[in-house]
Structures are given as C-alpha cells and as structure tokens.
Amino acid sequence: MNILVINCGSSSLKFQLIDSVAEEVLAKGLCERIGIEGSRLVYQPEGGEKEITEEPMPTHSKAVGMVLDALINEKTGVIGSLDEVGAVGHRIVHGGEKFASSTVITDEVIKAIEECNDLAPLHNPANLIGIEACKEHMPNTPMVGVFDTAFHQTMPEEAYIYGLPYEYYEKYKVRRYGFHGTSHSYVSKRVAEILNQPYESQKTIVCHIGNGASICAVNGGKSVDTSMGLTPLEGLIMGTRSGDIDPAIMEFIANKENMSVAEVMNVLNKKSGVYGISGTTSDFRDLMEAKEKGDKRAELALHVFIYRIIKYVGAYAAAMNGVDNIVFTAGIGENNAYVREKVCESLTYLGVSIDKDQNEKREDEMIISKDDSKVKVLVVATNEELKIARETLALVK
C-alpha cells in the first residue's frame, strides 16, 4: 500500500509518498510559503531530478492539490491515479493526554485534536488544516494521526508533574508532554535491532539534536522522561530556543526591556539558544566555521549547548539507574562529530569510550563506541516519515 505522509505547518507542507510494503520512498517534497507571496512546490520523484513549480498557493487545499497533481503527472509522477494512495498519515504535534498512540482520524478525533490546540497554538491548528485539505481532495481515503507527544505518555507522574499548584494540572493539564516522540521511538527501537538486543531489556538515552532538540530516556521500550515539556521550549539549548532557564528571568527582562509576556516568549523561542549566545547564527555549520575562525561567542555557544547535553545524559542515566546505550540523531546528532566527541568525552564515568576515527565517519547507522565500551554509543539517522507510514499501515490494514 502507498501511504502519503503529510507534515503540515502554518505556511509549509512536507510530504513523502511511501510504498509501505517495500518501505521505499516513491516521491517527496515540500510546499513553501503557502498563503504568502512567492509560494512554490519542490517535488522530487525517487531517483529523479528536483522539480520546482512557482505558483500562487493561497490555501493549503491548493497546495495539497498541487502535490497530488505532481504525484500523478504523466511525465514525472510516480503513480497512475489517486486510487493508488491507500492512506494518508498526518504528523500531529500535540495529542495532550488524549492520545497515547496513533489513531484513525474521524470527526470525533478531529474534535479531540482541536481541544489540544491551546497546548500547541502554533502547530496543531496547522496540522488540522492539513487534514481538512487532504479530506477535500481524497474524501474516501483513510487517514491516521501520529502524535509527537504520544510516545511519552508512558512517563511516570514524577517525571511529568511540575512543581506548581496541582490545580493547574487538573484544570489546564499543565504537565510535561515531550515532543519528537516519533523519532525517539523509531531510533531507540533501531538501536535494539542494530545491537541485536531485546528492546524490552534496554536502557537507551536518545539525543535528538537538530534545530529543535530533545533528549529522551527510554527504559524497556518506554519513554520514562524527556527534556521538552508542556511546549518544545524546555530542556536543551536549541538553535533559537533557550531551553531551561530560571523562570524569574522572564519578569526581570520584561521589566528591563519594557516587553510584554508575548514579546519575552518570542525572544525565548526565536532569538535565544545558540543564535542568541553567538549573536550570529542558529545553524551549526556556520557556528563550527565561526569557531574555527576564532569567533569566541560562537565557541561559547557551542560549549554551552554541549554542556547542557552532558548534564541531561547524566540526569537520565540517574533516572533509569543506569544506561546501556546512548544514540545521536537528527541534523546535528547525525552530522556533527565534534559535538558527539565533546559530549562523550565527559561521559567516561558512565563507561563510555568512543572510537574517534569511527566517530568522524558519516553513515546513516553506525556504532561509534569502542568494542569494550561499557555503554554503546551509536549514530542512527532518524526517519519520522517511515515511522508514520508504518503506524498508518498498521491502523488501516
């Protein structure tokens, strides 16, 4: 069965058409600047050239229409008709406490997702627009929602309750939810497969470090703690997000800079992290280059970022009373050997010993610890789309 995987944002829409039996990508791409001037579709059939179509996309429905047209296009399409799309899998950011697993999308489910909107006001409404747009074009095709938060619903209370008045949890469901669950789940499972160990027996710390970054403690195949919280702002230092800070800083800065809460939030989300510290960039390629050229602020940003990861790995080894595997994934985790080396250098107390030559390689899946390292360290390329396709297939079969 071919499954169309959709990741819909407020002005963008990423897609992959996946043959879920062979687990092969047939075509992929994205629509950019939906609803804004200068919108375009980037479409790439497997093994073919990237094709860029610049055309106004005033709505997400128009964007989905263009994607579907590209998929069935006589010249560059990969399927004969839309009947060959067996199901659509939607990435949904926030499932609150309502969704502990993926689910077939019905009118009731759409309502339940809407009820989670105020937990993720930037993301969930856009995800819902994506669902509606697909329904318009493919009213009879089954659809599945796969939630970023679902994998973390196994966390114990002590990990998800904040030190706040308990009524806020009861009334507003203020608690830790965690994100990147699809990635943490996929990658931790791959680690067990690569090492040929039963998933249920392994204690694994997943470092998903991309522009957005989070760490997850996976004990016996279940998420038991994770660094992002009610929103993706908590935890690690990220490209532009602050991660953990003293909450009192908010009022302090609001007073000093004469800012509203919304303005301070904007700074914490968009102007902080390694971008804020370096003052120049959120991209780790630029950051590394600047450091090489002697830029002290870039170097500081890198080291603050790395130090926070080291602290979280230690915390999660403690939370699980031990750790068997540590795995790096996402843009930085998969590509930045310097970050991996610096993190691992500070984990020798856990029994981590990495092979520096192996760590310098770039492979989708590799073990970078030495054979005698007590804790195995790996790099595993994440594949959230494949995981969404698998979940979708399992539910519509």
Is residue 53 close enough to count as binding ligand ADP by CB under 6 A?
no
Tokens for 106, please give them.
């019905």
Is residue 285 close enough to count as binding ligand ADP by CB under 6 A?
yes
Binding mask 107-136 for ligand ADP (x = CB under 6 A): ------------------------------
Binding mask 335-354 for ligand ADP (x = CB under 6 A): xx------------------
> Is 148 a residue of the active site?
yes
Beta bridge partners of 325: 204, 376
Strands 13-19 and 2-8: antiparallel
Count Cβ neighbours within 10 Å for each residue of 330-362 and write b for 16 or more, e otherwise.
Answer: bbbbbbbbbbbebbbebbeebebbbbeebbeee
Subset of 230-249 contacting ligand ADP (CB under 6 A): 239
Number of residues located near ligand ADP, criterion CB under 6 A:
12
Subset of 352-371 contacting ligand ADP (CB under 6 A): none
- Cα–Cα dist 20/181, whole Å: 20
- Which of 18, 87, 319, 332 touches ligand ADP (CB under 6 A)? 332
For residue 97, the minimal CB distance to ligand ADP (Å) is 25
Count Cβ neighbours within 10 Å for each residue of 366-379 and write b for 16 or more, e otherwise.
Answer: bbbbeeebebbbbb
Residue 119, classed as helix, strand or coil, is helix
Which CB, 100 or 300, lies closer to ligand ADP?
A: 300
For residue 289, the minimal CB distance to ligand ADP (Å) is 10
* CB atoms closer than 10 angstroms to residue 164: 10
Is residue 283 close enough to count as binding ligand ADP by CB under 6 A?
yes
Q: What letter represents residue 27's amino acid?
A: A
Subset of 169-228 contacting ligand ADP (CB under 6 A): 210-212
**150 vs 157, 179, 293, CA distance in Å?**
15, 8, 43
Among all residues, whose Cβ is closest to ligand ADP? 331
Tokens for 348, please give them.
């020798």
DSSP 247: T
Tokens for 320, please give them.
């699980």
Which CB, 268 or 332, lies closer to ligand ADP?
A: 332
Per annotation, catalytic residue among 83, 118, 148, 246: 148
Q: Which of 86, 131, 140, 130 is nearest to 105 (CA)?
A: 131
* CB atoms closer than 10 angstroms to residue 172: 11
Which CB, 2 or 383, lies closer to ligand ADP?
A: 383
Which CB, 192 or 330, lies closer to ligand ADP?
A: 330
For residue 239, the minimal CB distance to ligand ADP (Å) is 6
**Which residues would be at the binding site for ligand ADP (CB under 6 A)?**
210-212, 239, 283-285, 330-332, 335-336
Catalytic residues: 148
